[in-house]
Amino acid sequence: MAAIDQHGKDVLIAVKVVPGSSRTRVAGMIGQRVKIAVSAPPEKGKANDALAKYIAGLCGLRTREVTVESGLTAPLKTIRVKGSTADQIRTALGLLGN
């Protein structure tokens, strides 16, 4: 799977999350994953919620349209973005070449 992959009407994003960072941001690529630093701590789903909210905000979507598909308790996650295209997500994340 590519870092950002079209899956029907949805997009799957392979991410490496770094919780507890000083600020939430896209930190580039690490292998075949988008590295995203989130300021929320890795406890009780706070980092997952912050990640979904951040991606939704960048893409101009509602938070409920962005879900953690797999990796709820791990730093390596797959994120599902509903009703979008891979190109729209790449543009929103600033990763046009990936």
- pLDDT tier at 89, thresholds 50, 70, 90: very high
| pTM reported for the whole predicted model | 0.92
| Per-residue pLDDT tens digits for 17-44 | 999 999 999 999 999 999 999 999 999 9
Residue spans per domain, the chain:
4-93
- By CB atoms closer than 10 A (0-12, 13-18, 19+), residue 47 is buried
CATH number of 4-93: 3.30.1200.10
How far apart (Å, rounded) are the C-alpha atoms in residues 26 and 58?
A: 10
Q: How confident is the model at residue 2 (pLDDT cuts 50, 70, 90)?
A: confident
* DSSP codes, 6-65: EETTEEEEEEEEETT-SS-EEEEEETTEEEEE-SS-SSTTHHHHHHHHHHHHHHT--GGG
